[in-house]
Structure 1
Amino acid sequence: MAAYGALVSVMNIIDTLHLHPHPPISLHPKQAESLTENVTFLQDFLEVYNPRLDYSKEADPLERRIVDAAYAAEDIIESHIVDQITSDGGKISPDSLYEALEKVIRDMDLIKKDAKEIEQTLGVHTTKSMPSDSSKSSPTAKESSMVGAEHLMLEMKDKLTSDRRDLQIIPIVGMGGSGKTTLAINICQDRLIKEHFHVSAWAAISQEYNNQEMLIDILGQLNKVVGQNLGVDGLGEILYKHLFGRRYLIVLDDMWSIEAWDGIRRFLPDNKNGSRIVVTTRLSNLASNLSNSKNLEMSLLNEVDSWDMLSKTVFGEEGCPPELEEIGKRIGKSCKGLPLSIAVIGGLLAKSNHTREFWESIEENLSSIVNSEDDEWCLRILHMSYKQLPVYLKPCFLYLGVFSEDKVILRSTLIKLWVAEGFLKPKIGKSLEEIAKVCLKELVDRNLVLVDEIGSNGEMKCCKIHDLLRDLCLKEAEKERFHRVIRDDPPSNNSERMVVFPRKTATLFTSEVLESLSHARSIICDFCDYGSEAVEVMYGEYEDNEIRLPYNLRLLRTFKAVDKHLRSGDYFLDNLFELVNLRYLAARVRTTHEFPTTFDLLWNLHTLIIDSAYELIGPVEIWKLHQLRHLEFPEGLILPDPPSGDNVIVIMKNLQTLKGVVSLSLNEEVVKRIPNTKKLYLRYNVKPMEGEKCLSNLMCLSKLENFCCSTRYGCDDYLQWIMFPHSLKKLSLCASSKLELEDIMPKIGLLPILEKLVLQNGVFKTRKWETIEGQFLSLKFLRLKACRDLEDWIVSNSSHFPLLQNLCLTNVDQLKEIPSEIGEIATMKSISLRYCSESAVVSAKEIIEEQESLYGDLLDLRVRVVVKHEQEELTRLASANFEVVEIDISHILKKSMESRGSSSDDVENMVDTLQEEEIVEEQEHL
């Protein structure tokens, strides 16, 4: 809830006041004590206060009063901080500050008095809920997601694999939350279906679809990496040619209009070979327009299936205790057969006490919802799970509404934002990032958040939220004044605290609109999926159209206006860093401007992500930002040495991420200042640099888990002298072709907990790589790319890589064979070869055949091979577990560049560059 989050935020502000070094900022001791006492009491009260379970369109009056008081305290204290920092102390005199805080304290005293009366009247003395440290997950609905729909699975398989040769469109129709997407996912993951089609892809359409992004997404899944500046027709032509002649399966999920269908249908050829298009939609009339065949209707579950799904969601295969079975069946019935509601209520019950009393209270409230005449019964059922959330999870859940429909949310970005917003309650012995990860996991366990992608380390990488649950987030957030998503019109008042500009409202993001948001603490721009044309309208291409953030946003804490897909729109560096209250700043800046000397005034900055067209020269004041947790410069930051001779050396003990730093001299002074860094990405482009053995100091970073280093122009000497800390879990090295890999491999192999290794370029001088016992004991993911002269890879037995799961080889074109012992590794799941030698491909085929003879249909190992056009004869090796894809890079690139008017010389040069460096697709892995 907004009230709890606001209280935690106030407490965090008070607790960090003493951390400001110059000038010291403080409140009157008695006022600080009174505020702390009131805020702590109200936090404790809200942790046990649950005024009602019924759905209401109005916020609870007591919670609204708490929100108003907390916001008032924030305004007063943070205005005082900003005035002190910017030497504008005259704006709020000490007497005025004291009087303003006294009024807030009096208001909180009255709220506290009323809260105590409620405690006595209602007997609010339940156990407080706190984030769990347990790593154990509850059973999830995924295990039983197709309960009651087994017949649809069979019907779907029949339609997909039938003898009909013409292109078939298969609509799946049902209300939101009925399981349409889940059915499509299960079908796509079915082994029979995977083997039947040559290629497959998935596109989420949604109400705010974008044809260009949709085509780019589909082509990416088909290993067609294309430029962002290609138009819809150019992208569609590439897709059409790639699908032509192949039996393909395309899933178009959550379609809302015939216009979205028309935008892609013309690029999907009818090859007369049994290709299929699956469309999920809530609209029966739309489905009828798509196909003459009978729709697959997702029916609601009957009582038996509802209880079966609920029981498996709560208890897994253990079964329900007899004393709860009767109540459980009634709860399942009250969900009215909607799988999403059953999954969410099941997630609630799984995380709660399995007592008869609690289950009876859930049943009672569900029954009142079902018996109401309101057509929002589904939203009301989901609302129950929101109301029953532990209070510390409510702000985390509501925050998910700031992301657009069907948006894939990067976990690391979400966690950074949660931390910056200040609503996470600190816990002794835990970092805020660790607390955030636990909170996100709890939301996943309750089926309120969906896991979208798992990283190579087995942890969640991306997540999503169902659109019905997002609707709930938006309704509750606006009701509780937590955040406001701008729709068609500019904000009508200036009281908004968190403002979100979705892609539909890109043109509303103007200086005039920003001027009206004087109370805003967070501005989040979700333009990353918007077309480039709209981005240009929003920002303009010329200096006089650029946006300067108005001064009245001086209390802003979060400003997010950059994304890896957003390559337009610049801000002025000096203007951005006037906002001294910032905790999270992500923006693209003009390279013609320099960092201001007042940079260190951003004393409470947590996350700084600055994108630009070129490398930037950082200010020496950056070493004074002791609160900084994440520093990221995608295009590179030249970071100066720390200032010498300072009376007080600032240790950046909170710094966890340092990405994009160029030519950093990692000397003892630097290492001493960043002792707790977990993620470090360095780039060396210039030689010589004083102290070329400086990377030997890397071993002093004992908390480092993820290290990525790129060297060019003869800087490989830095890697020859490198000393790795034993804490490394992920390592990526991109060197020149002269780095001798035999020298560095033994150091890497001895890292005890290394799970992921990516090596690009370098040379095996002896033309041989021989691993020995005791190396790579924890490695799960191995990628070698363009490692020259590797002919013989010798692995004497499978114990050399005992935990390896994924092997990726790219442009390793002299390798004679993949060691057969690789196929014998028990954990091995996939082998990927991209533009490797023919003999290496043949050896991979032999590995699969040997494993198939041993394990048959139980084999989990899959091989995927990408070959050049001139190796097309290798496509004959394709089989169920051995996929072969032929790609003609030259043809694709020529068509792309010719469509943009490039000369023939430009085309040929780019083809040569692409074939030599193979930069396509692999960038994201480094």
Structure 2
Amino acid sequence: MAEAIIVNIVVDKLANIIAKEIQFLGGVGEKVKKAQRELTRIQSCLKDADSKRKLDERVQNWLNELRNVAYRIEDAIDMFFIKVECNKNNTCLQKLKNKPREVYFLHKLGTKLDSIQNELEEISKSRLNYGITALQDIAVGDPVILPVRRTTYSEVDETEVVGLDADRDKILKLLHPEETPRRAVITIVGTGGIGKTTLAHIIYKRDKSNTIFLFVCISSAKAKFEYHIMLSVSQQFNLTELLKKMLRQLIDDVPNELDVEGLMSELKKKLSSRRYLIILDDVWQVDVWNHLKNALPDDKNGSRVLITSRSIDVAKSADPIMAPCELNLLDDQKSIDLLLKKALPNQEPSEELASDLLKLANELSKKCEGLPLALVVLGGILSTKDRNYHAWERVFRTMDWHSKGKECMDVLAMSYEDMPYYLKACFLYLALFPEDYQISARRLIRMWVAEGFIPQEERITMEEIAEDYLYELFQRSMIQVSSRHVNGSIKCFQVHDLLRDLAMHKAREENFVMVFSEESDSKKPNKEIRRASFHSLKYGDDNFHLRNNLLYLEYARSLLLFGEYGWSPIPANFRKFRLLKVLVLEGVENHDVDLVRGLEKLVHLKYLGLRGCHIPISKCSFHCMKALETLDMREILIYGDGEVPDGIWSIDTLRHVRCDSDNPFKLPKTTAELKNIQTLQRVYFNKKMPLLSSLCKLDLVIEEDGDPIAFTSNLFATLPSLVSLSIHSWYDSLTMEVVYPKALPNYQHLQSLYLDGEWSENVTLDASLFPPHLLKLTLEWSRFGQNPMPELGKLKSLKKLCLECEVLSIDLYYNSGPIFCPAGFPVLQYLKLGGNSMKSLTVAEGTMPNLKYLNVYDHDIMFHLPPELQHIDELYENLIVVFLLTG
């Protein structure tokens, strides 16, 4: 029910105008109040209307009319404030001169509201003709029912694996070089949602954990694959981008100037004489393998390529000799097992279920006809219901089980209909992203906030509420988590292509989102479309009439352009899109200064994403963007003759500023308070720092000038909300113990600490230096005169430890012998060691009992690990690690 969130946004906007601008609006203010009252009355009827839209097409038309009127009210208000915004910062004389213009625009707004009000009253009256009653569920003033706040995050994988054991064992056997010395292509074939990608991830993770020389009880086994590559291909197959993605998993920097032939040559050279495993997920076209096979050398060393596809033709053409692994639907027992694992996540399988509930669960599982995705999504729906017969029976009754062959899509559709209204808009918004795109949770959350989907509460930030919304989508199995932060919260995720198809279908149906891509038709967009996204746009490619389509999007609130790096056919400026709240340009190159001069006209813009762009951003006057909340400039190449302008600091609404190491920001030299700033990623440390009382994440570069001890003391006395801190000290005279904030042990909420800089060799490392509840610690370019492990092992909450580059002094490295790690690290899960840090590491029994991941990229370190650590899930990189059983 996207209409509910749309009306909510408009009602909230009107409420804010009444609270802040009512005097400025004069007589028009009463018309604004009247529109708000009428929309508020209609709000209470939306849930009932939504439940009847399937039964009566007239109700759908009523909802469409309501949505369009709400849009027109929002447009009228927003356009009015754009017209008068330029007058607010003028001198008194200029304001006096512009007064007649202001009066004219007020009159024009009043006239529009009069016209809209008549329509609104007609819509309100006509609901009775369709039997739509007021339920008082979502009226303004009623509290919004939010998901239950979590103190901890679930560590459970996004998909419970059932029924794949035999297929997994079969494929693992085929990976052995003794089976087939030639480069063989293994294919996994099956319908959408049957578990192909899940199985591929299991194989990838299981094999990568064995990319070592393994010695247990002095007996050896031959090394497995030296190189691993895994990536999704999807329907929008682009050979150049595919080759670049493959190379980026092998080398740090891939030259942008390489063409297809150059990329294939580079890939072949890198893989030559190496034993590799390459997993290509979701291949739709036979041509994919026909293009790639010439870049993958066959040195008769047992290299393997694993392909997942829905097409048996892809499997047969890739390797006619190797029989494809065809996944089967789950039988009745495995179906009920998977359904109950998702429906009852905290209940042990041995716990008895009431007989009537178990019988109903069996009936529900059979309706999914053995398709894992349908079972997982249906289980996600049941997990949100009370655990009783009546609640589950209502789900059974709600489904349309009569359309044979459409069970999976019906289950997915029901999962959407079952969502609370506030979650539906958040789910439909996912349709804006390309297929198989790795979506950053933080990025999406900030876009939701910018769009107005998230309510404002007194004791909790909007970002925290949005994080709960995202977790609820995960709980309902509507997203698939790819990676997590150290505290267990979602870092990145993907949307299964069937669920993405559902989101796109519903978004088009509700006129919520329009997506343009190579596969989409050239139909002109409706002017009522508020969110649009352009995918896979290439340099010089105007096949889908980008410019013409953009002309019809002047009322858009979100516009996302996903292009290849170097792609440039975008409008000369964005003056036409002055109602935008969210603008994302990814991989865009445009040297036209008019582009950024158009950006500064976007006075309603709240989220600006310029990741990977090459544009003259130094010419942009950020101070004109009075509503901006998020500015993301990571991986940006600044074209022009200056740095990023500091006008951004005059924006009162600013909450998140992100850039990278090449272009750090300079904070203003003032003690004024930047009260809303929550994220500062890569900023230079100034002599005078502004007050940052709301700051949660800080990435700080310390310069050589001034007195860093005094600076850090002043700064860290005023950061009560800090959760993540990174400090970079790149000067020999500023060793880490000099710049290290002495107040950090008092930071109870600090979870992540990254220190980039040398420590003096005579420093005695002490656990008391660090915050008490630290979850993640990274020490880079550090150098100690002592073994750091005994003190670091005392950090009782530490889950992730990264020690990189010269962790030990040269004298200690050559003279101390093995480094001993005594008892400690009670909850450590991830250990990363890099650089010339040590020659050997011996871990005492009982140490690191929860270690799961060991990442080392030195080839000559010998590890002595106790028996209880033989279970480690992942051992990264191409290295020689020795496991010796101690005791």
Short-chain TM bin: 0.7 to 0.9
| Aligned with 2:364 (options 309, 331, 334) | 331
TM-score of the superposition, structure 1-length normalised? Answer: 0.80
> Shift of residue 468 of structure 1?
0.7
Q: Match of 2:314, SS?
A: helix
User: 1:789 corresponds to which residue?
Assistant: 809
> Shift of residue 278 of structure 1?
1.8
User: 1:655 corresponds to which residue?
Assistant: 677
Q: List per-residue Cα deviations over 1:189-233 (Å, max 9, x = no partner).
A: 346994673243322111112333333433444566544444444
Distance in 2 between residues matched to 1:27 and 1:654, nearest whole Å: 33
Q: Match of 1:489, SS?
A: coil
2:438 aligned partner, one-letter code: V
Q: Match of 2:579, SS?
A: coil
> Shift of residue 176 of structure 1?
0.9
Unaligned runs of 5+ in 2: 88-97, 212-222
| Aligned with 1:806 (options 830, 846, 849) | 830
| Aligned with 2:629 (options 582, 586, 606) | 606
User: 1:624 corresponds to which residue?
Assistant: 650
> Shift of residue 50 of structure 1?
3.8
Distance in 1 between residues matched to 2:477 and 2:155, nearest whole Å: 10
1:279 is aligned to 2:307 = yes
Structure with greater helix percent: 1
Q: List per-residue Cα deviations over 1:287-311 (Å, max 9, x = no partner).
A: 2222223322222233343333222
User: 2:484 corresponds to which residue?
Assistant: 454
Distance in 2 between residues matched to 1:50 and 1:811, nearest whole Å: 60
- In structure 2, relative to structure 1, the CA distance for the partners of 1:20 and 1:713 (3 Å cut) is farther
- In structure 2, relative to structure 1, the CA distance for the partners of 1:468 and 1:678 (3 Å cut) is same
Q: Match of 1:207, SS?
A: coil
- In structure 2, relative to structure 1, the CA distance for the partners of 1:55 and 1:732 (3 Å cut) is farther
2:184 aligned partner, one-letter code: Q
> Shift of residue 59 of structure 1?
8.7
| Aligned with 2:334 (options 289, 305, 310) | 305
1:61 is aligned to 2:24 = no
Q: Match of 1:427, SS?
A: coil
Unaligned runs of 5+ in 1: 540-546, 868-874, 882-926
User: 1:709 corresponds to which residue?
Assistant: 727
Distance in 1 between residues matched to 2:664 and 2:24, nearest whole Å: 31
> Shift of residue 49 of structure 1?
5.2
Distance in 1 between residues matched to 2:712 and 2:731, nearest whole Å: 17
> Shift of residue 694 of structure 1?
1.0
Q: Match of 1:278, SS?
A: strand
1:406 is aligned to 2:433 = no
Q: Match of 1:516, SS?
A: coil
Q: Match of 2:561, SS?
A: strand
Task: Compute the RMSD of aligned alpha carbons.
Answer: 3.8
> Shift of residue 390 of structure 1?
0.9
- In structure 2, relative to structure 1, the CA distance for the partners of 1:30 and 1:696 (3 Å cut) is same
**1:879-918 equivalence runs, <5 A:** none
User: 1:363 corresponds to which residue?
Assistant: 396
* Contact 2:49 2:59 (8 Å CA) reproduced: no
User: 2:798 corresponds to which residue?
Assistant: 779
1:431 is aligned to 2:493 = no
Q: List per-residue Cα deviations over 1:214-271 (Å, max 9, x = no partner).
A: 3343344456654444444444344434444444332211111111112221222333
User: 1:695 corresponds to which residue?
Assistant: 712
| Aligned with 2:324 (options 285, 290, 295) | 295
> Shift of residue 84 of structure 1?
1.8
Q: List per-residue Cα deviations over 1:870-895 (Å, max 9, x = no partner).
A: xxxxx5x56799xxxxxxxxxxxxxx
Q: Match of 2:832, SS?
A: strand
Q: Match of 1:626, SS?
A: coil
Q: List per-residue Cα deviations over 1:807-843 (Å, max 9, x = no partner).
A: 3232235x3543534982222333333347x4xx12x
User: 1:548 corresponds to which residue?
Assistant: 572
* Contact 2:573 2:596 (8 Å CA) reproduced: no
* Contact 2:765 2:791 (8 Å CA) reproduced: no
- In structure 2, relative to structure 1, the CA distance for the partners of 1:228 and 1:654 (3 Å cut) is same
| Aligned with 1:155 (options 144, 158, 170) | 170
User: 1:104 corresponds to which residue?
Assistant: 116
- In structure 2, relative to structure 1, the CA distance for the partners of 1:779 and 1:403 (3 Å cut) is same
* Contact 1:401 1:474 (8 Å CA) reproduced: yes
- In structure 2, relative to structure 1, the CA distance for the partners of 1:701 and 1:358 (3 Å cut) is same
Q: List per-residue Cα deviations over 1:754-807 (Å, max 9, x = no partner).
A: 22222222444x466475489533222222333362526898864553333323
> Shift of residue 358 of structure 1?
3.9
2:532 aligned partner, one-letter code: V
1:612 aligned partner, one-letter code: L
User: 1:321 corresponds to which residue?
Assistant: 354
User: 1:210 corresponds to which residue?
Assistant: 238
Aligned length: 828
2:421 aligned partner, one-letter code: V
* Deviates further, 182-191 or 124-133: 124-133
Q: List per-residue Cα deviations over 1:493-516 (Å, max 9, x = no partner).
A: 433211101114773486665343
1:574 aligned partner, one-letter code: R
User: 1:859 corresponds to which residue?
Assistant: 871
Distance in 1 between residues matched to 2:833 and 2:288, nearest whole Å: 38
Q: List per-residue Cα deviations over 1:112-171 (Å, max 9, x = no partner).
A: 445577677698979997221243889989664333x44433433443346333332222
Distance in 2 between residues matched to 1:751 and 1:144, nearest whole Å: 36
Q: Match of 1:561, SS?
A: strand
User: 1:682 corresponds to which residue?
Assistant: 700
Distance in 1 between residues matched to 2:191 and 2:240, nearest whole Å: 27
> Shift of residue 347 of structure 1?
0.8
> Shift of residue 26 of structure 1?
8.2
User: 1:923 corresponds to which residue?
Assistant: none
| Aligned with 1:250 (options 267, 275, 278) | 278
Percent identity between matched residues is: 25
* Deviates further, 44-53 or 320-329: 44-53
**1:466-615 equivalence runs, <5 A:** 466-486=496-516, 487-489=520-522, 491-504=524-537, 507-508=541-542, 513-527=549-563, 530=564, 532=565, 535-536=566-567, 538=569, 547-562=571-586, 572-587=595-610, 588=613, 590-591=615-616, 593-596=618-621, 599-610=622-633, 611-613=636-638
* Deviates further, 827-836 or 788-797: 788-797
* Contact 2:756 2:781 (8 Å CA) reproduced: yes
> Shift of residue 472 of structure 1?
0.8
Distance in 2 between residues matched to 1:54 and 1:744, nearest whole Å: 71
Q: Match of 2:779, SS?
A: strand
2:569 aligned partner, one-letter code: M
1:658 aligned partner, one-letter code: L
1:754 is aligned to 2:762 = no
User: 2:853 corresponds to which residue?
Assistant: 830
1:681 aligned partner, one-letter code: D
- In structure 2, relative to structure 1, the CA distance for the partners of 1:187 and 1:466 (3 Å cut) is same
Distance in 2 between residues matched to 1:332 and 1:55, nearest whole Å: 27
1:267 is aligned to 2:295 = yes
* Contact 1:773 1:799 (8 Å CA) reproduced: no
Distance in 1 between residues matched to 2:493 and 2:281, nearest whole Å: 17
> Shift of residue 591 of structure 1?
4.2
* Deviates further, 474-483 or 626-635: 626-635
Distance in 2 between residues matched to 1:215 and 1:404, nearest whole Å: 18
* Contact 1:710 1:733 (8 Å CA) reproduced: yes
* Contact 2:531 2:556 (8 Å CA) reproduced: yes
1:173 is aligned to 2:201 = no
- In structure 2, relative to structure 1, the CA distance for the partners of 1:774 and 1:23 (3 Å cut) is farther
1:303 aligned partner, one-letter code: D
2:868 aligned partner, one-letter code: Y
Q: Match of 2:700, SS?
A: strand
Distance in 1 between residues matched to 2:554 and 2:208, nearest whole Å: 58
* Contact 2:159 2:376 (8 Å CA) reproduced: no
